[in-house]
Amino acid sequence: MRALVKPEAGPGLELVDRPEPKVGPGEVKIRVLRAGLCGTDLHLDQWDDWAASTVRPPLVLGHEFFGEVVEVAADVDSVQVGQKASGEGHVVCGTCRNCRAGRRHLCIRTNSVGVNRDGAFADFVVIPASNVWVQPDDLDPDLGAVFDPLGNAVHTTLSFPLAGEDVLVTGAGPIGVMSAAVARHVGARKVVVTDVSDYRLDLARGAGADLVVNVAERRVAEAQRELGMREGFDIGLEMSGNPSAVEEMLANMNHGGRIAMLGLPKDPFPIDWGRVITHMITIKGIYGRQMYDTWYAMSSMLQTSDRLREAVASVITHRFPAEQWQDGFDAARSGRCGKVVLDWS
């Protein structure tokens, strides 16, 4: 089969021919039709410090995908051959305290598809049956391929009740844009999105943001005045990992505001803890998706809202055949894109 592989420690990837993966007990083999390109994949390609400390080559990359089930282990009865499916990329141990308590997204021994085990930038991928999310037969394959990042957006956005609240999203990458769409869907009063890329801010506007702010040109406080907001934002969704974005978000939160942080910073940075304390601001870290409450929530929302489905689909701006994977990586690095999808069909 074709597979996009990190062959050895160091920068670069190779599209090679590899044997099909075998199905073990409790596992399912999926023929990959589409796979989404994530920032994690860019880190692995570039082989930065995080990649070097985390990954043991050789490894097949890719953790965002949609495909068709082609084989199930004899002990699997929850998934059937022929079903369409996406996959939860975090494989948990099942035995730590959090797993046994039903908090699988907090597993202390999480093993990630495409990072710690072979992933979905290939014709076939094998994952545990418990990680398979069966999809409707008529689901657009491109949309099915972005359920993983959509799950990040849904997990973050639904961390706090936000119906009728004013929401600030910092970072208009694909997940930030999808978060704006979800916030609009669940009834936020005003949704403001910030970034330094006009291209991505246009995507956020199209997905339902009331106002977008290029923070290289003006400040969030100006947006508040433009919208007639007399007080600060009630909910902050931090998707950038940028210290200055976090600083500006904190400066524009209402007293008692709540912030969910998904964006990963490259390095540690200072926080104005005096403001956090005196303004009684709640900060919550978010990683991945709740297994599997988030999956139920995003599937249900997409099935019941044409508007949300269109907004999420609009984030997919570039599609490339698997053989043109390098063009896909180049597009993702350029910043002038939303979500990039590789076609493995």
- Residue 203 token pair: 């995507």
Question: Strands, E, within 164-248: which ranges?
Answer: 166-170, 190-195, 211-214, 233-238
Residue whose entry in the numeric block shows the structure tokens 């009740």: 161
Residue whose entry in the numeric block shows the structure tokens 């870290």: 285
Residue of 156, 125, 182, 116 whose CA lies nearest to 342? 125
Catalytic status, residue 43: yes
Question: How many Cα atoms within 13 Å fall on the side-chain side of residue 107?
Answer: 20
Residues 210-232 as b or e (16 or more Cβ within 10 Å = b): bbbbebeeeebeebbeeeebeeb
Rounded Cα–Cα distance for residues 308 and 192 (Å):
17
Phi, psi of 179 (to 5 degrees): -65, -40
From 40, 170, 194, 294, active-site residue: 40
- Residue 274 token pair: 């005096």
Residue of 289, 23, 280, 28 whose CA lies nearest to 149? 289
DSSP 236-265: EEE-S--HHHHHHHHHTEEEEEEEEE-PPP
Catalytic status, residue 40: yes
Give the residue numbers annotated as catalytic, written as ranges.
Answer: 40, 43
